[in-house]
């Protein structure tokens, strides 16, 4: 997982603080979390020769990490000045940053006038425990700074100033970053709006061009005395106009049946005498309101999954019945039936049956959750799709 942007910003800020402190004092500070791990860049070249010698040993490095962990826990909300496992003095101070893990700074690798004698008294035993060269460590220890009480207090105050500066700087950086993120979101939203505006304009141009072309073809067919072709083009144009209407729009059942009839008329010309159809609507049903493109997908599905041949011509029927407070629309055929895999996809709401599923979902939105679609199919014996839609006689739901 890539590091968070605010974590990267904090690391950069800690690095800048370390560089500034080094320029003032000639020594480095470390930033450590409560697990004892160093946070941000660790500049070992700025460590004293004594500490580098200790950390060259695996056991020495492990004990240094353990010391970091212990001092961080003891620092809490205050400042701790204590000796590490080798007797070197360290200042530990919490850093006020808004992070998931608490961070504290560690400045040390020096001796004080109060701890100097004890340090040298324990040095030989400490070297023996870690397997280090006592002569080498003794020589390196001679380079350690020995601070007076006043010098120690001055460094504590300096570190407090740096920590406060860090808190203010991080707050400013966080504000700038949040502002930059807001601007980025705003620009992204503007890009999306421009894209949507372009697509909207494009969607206006494409149907306009299409219908003008169909109108031209229809007039050409009439001039060439091809009335049947002109009629087919006119039916296709009407179908396409309905297809461009919003999916959540509604129309009367008579309009929807007319749409289905135009589609069937086109298919009849394509399939020839082996195909026939009938549309039967009970009187009064034509005034019922229904979502646009409810029946046409059903008759299209029936033709797609049926085969007409000379021995068994394909017949398709659309029937509309009003039964008390129920609208029943039945589309049936005598074709090959809906394949089992498609039926299973319909039950799962996807695949090739997504068009029928879309019809079912829109019916539930319009007529209520009790509206349903029933599908019955047997191989070689055709298929029947029924739409059952509850009608509210009193409220007029489903009626003009």
Confidence (pLDDT) at 329: 96
CB atoms within 10 A of CB 207: 13
- Structure confidence by residue, pLDDT tens digits, 148-198: 888 888 888 877 777 777 767 766 767 777 777 778 877 776 676 666 555
C-alpha distance from residue 96 to each of 160, 164, 195 (Å): 10, 8, 44
Confidence (pLDDT) at 396: 43
Q: What angle do CA 242, 262, 313 make, to 5 degrees?
A: 135
Confidence (pLDDT) at 102: 67
Structure tokens at 64: 């240094």
Specify whether the CB–CB gap between 341 and 302 falls below 8 A.
no
Confidence (pLDDT) at 2: 42
Gap between the Cα atoms of 153 and 172, Å rounded: 29
CB atoms within 10 A of CB 391: 19
Q: Could you list the pLDDT tens digit for every one of the 400 residues in the chain?
A: 344 444 456 666 677 776 766 676 666 777 776 665 666 556 666 778 888 888 888 888 888 777 766 665 565 557 778 888 888 888 877 776 655 456 777 777 888 888 888 888 888 888 888 888 888 888 988 888 888 888 888 888 877 777 777 767 766 767 777 777 778 877 776 676 666 555 555 554 455 555 556 666 777 777 777 777 777 777 777 766 666 654 447 889 998 998 888 888 888 877 888 889 999 999 988 889 998 889 988 988 888 877 655 567 889 999 999 988 899 999 999 888 887 887 777 666 555 556 788 888 889 888 988 999 999 888 878 899 999 999 875 444 555 4
CATH code given to domain 248-390: 3.30.565.10
Where are the chain's structural domains?
5-182, 248-390
Gap between the Cα atoms of 388 and 300, Å rounded: 19
Q: What is the DSSP letter of 224?
A: T
64-72: list long-range contacts, CB under 8 Å, 24+ apart: 65/36, 65/37, 66/36, 67/36, 68/30, 68/32, 68/36, 68/37, 68/38, 68/106, 69/34, 69/35, 69/36, 70/36, 71/104, 71/106, 72/32, 72/33, 72/34, 72/36, 72/102, 72/104
Helices H, strands E: what count in the chain? 11, 12
Confidence (pLDDT) at 6: 47
Residue with tokens 């005598």: 334
Give the sheet arrangement for strand 314-323, strand by strand: 275-281, 314-323, 326-333, 383-390, 372-377
Gap between the Cα atoms of 66 and 36, Å rounded: 6
Identify the CA nearest to 77 among candidates 101, 100, 102. 102
Gap between the Cα atoms of 342 and 305, Å rounded: 10
Beta bridge partners of 277: 316
Confidence (pLDDT) at 197: 55
Confidence (pLDDT) at 262: 84
Gap between the Cα atoms of 53 and 66, Å rounded: 17
Q: Residues with Cβ < 8 Å from 174, sequence gap 6 or more? A: 6, 9, 98
Element (H, E) at 143: none
Gap between the Cα atoms of 107 and 87, Å rounded: 14
Gap between the Cα atoms of 317 and 333, Å rounded: 6
Gap between the Cα atoms of 94 and 104, Å rounded: 4
Q: What is the pTM of this model?
A: 0.45
């Amino acid at each position: 997982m890539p590091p968070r942007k605010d974590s990267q910003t904090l690391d950069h800020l800690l690095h800048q603080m370390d560089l500034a402190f080094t320029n003032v004092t000639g020594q480095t500070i470390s930033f450590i979390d409560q697990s004892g791990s160093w946070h941000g860049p660790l500049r070992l070249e700025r460590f004293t020769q004594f500490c580098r010698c200790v950390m060259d040993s695996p056991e020495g490095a492990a004990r240094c990490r353990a010391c970091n962990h212990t001092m961080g826990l003891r620092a809490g909300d205050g400042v701790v000045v204590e000796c590490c496992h080798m007797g070197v003095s360290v200042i530990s101070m919490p850093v006020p940053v808004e992070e998931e893990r608490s961070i504290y700074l560690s400045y040390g690798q020096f001796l004080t006038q109060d701890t100097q004698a004890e340090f040298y008294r324990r040095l030989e035993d400490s070297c023996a425990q870690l397997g280090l060269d006592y002569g080498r460590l003794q020589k390196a220890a001679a380079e350690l700074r020995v601070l007076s009480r006043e010098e120690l207090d001055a460094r504590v105050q300096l570190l407090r100033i740096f920590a406060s500066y860090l808190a203010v700087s991080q707050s400013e950086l966080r504000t700038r970053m949040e502002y930059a993120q807001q601007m980025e979101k705003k620009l992204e939203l503007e890009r999306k709006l421009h894209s949507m505006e372009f697509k909207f304009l494009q969607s206006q141009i494409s149907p306009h061009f299409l219908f003008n072309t169909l109108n031209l073809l229809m007039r050409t067919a009439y001039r060439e005395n091809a009335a049947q072709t002109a009629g087919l083009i006119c039916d296709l144009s009407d179908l396409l106009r309905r297809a461009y209407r919003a999916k959540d729009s509604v129309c009367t059942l008579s309009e929807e049946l007319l749409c289905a009839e135009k589609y069937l008329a086109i298919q009849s010309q394509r399939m020839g005498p082996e195909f026939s159809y009938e549309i039967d609507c009970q009187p009064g049903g034509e005034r019922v309101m229904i979502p646009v493109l409810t029946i046409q997908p059903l008759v299209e599905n029936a033709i797609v999954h049926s085969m007409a041949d000379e021995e068994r011509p394909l017949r398709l029927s659309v029937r509309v019945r009003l039964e008390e407070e129920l609208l029943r629309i039945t589309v049936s055929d005598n074709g090959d039936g809906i394949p089992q895999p498609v039926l299973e996809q319909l039950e799962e709401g996807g695949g090739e049956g997504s068009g029928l599923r879309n019809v079912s979902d829109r019916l539930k939105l319009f007529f209520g959750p009790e509206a349903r679609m029933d599908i019955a199919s047997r191989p070689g014996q055709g298929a029947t799709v029924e739409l059952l839609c509850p009608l509210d006689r009193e409220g007029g739901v489903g009626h003009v």
